[in-house]
Structure 1
């Protein structure tokens, strides 16, 4: 009798999104960020309102919903009008 100790995972690795796609990082309290690229095993995300990029594990990231995208775009517009970002 032979048993596998590590059964194959049915979960496929997430597909790399295009640059600029708004994503939600569940590993960082559902923080919304813009996809910037791949850094080793991590994905680089930048806050929508500007600021330092952070690295997220792809398994914790999902595409932002319509409401989340709207909130992020609104936050970007507010930050721009207040002079906090260009």
Structure 2
């Protein structure tokens, strides 16, 4: 997130006409390989079943939510350079 903001400032300063953005998921995504490994690891650490860990998460984004966020950023005029996506949609990163 920091790198996108820093890169945008430098591109603006140099008049390069480039746009830098970062997009991160708000929650781990168990539908992906990395997400499944993360869920399994955290659940094991907590001593609970992966399904119980997933059930406790709220406002989870899906791969489709992430895809919509990418399209929105690529086709819109978003303000800022860092964004988060959740089940509720796209939002500027705090």
- TM-score bin (small chain): under 0.3
Task: Name the TM-score, length of structure 1 as normaliser.
Answer: 0.21
* Larger relative contact order, structure 1 or 2 (CA cutoff 8 Å, min sep 6): 2
Task: Name the TM-score, length of structure 2 as normaliser.
Answer: 0.20
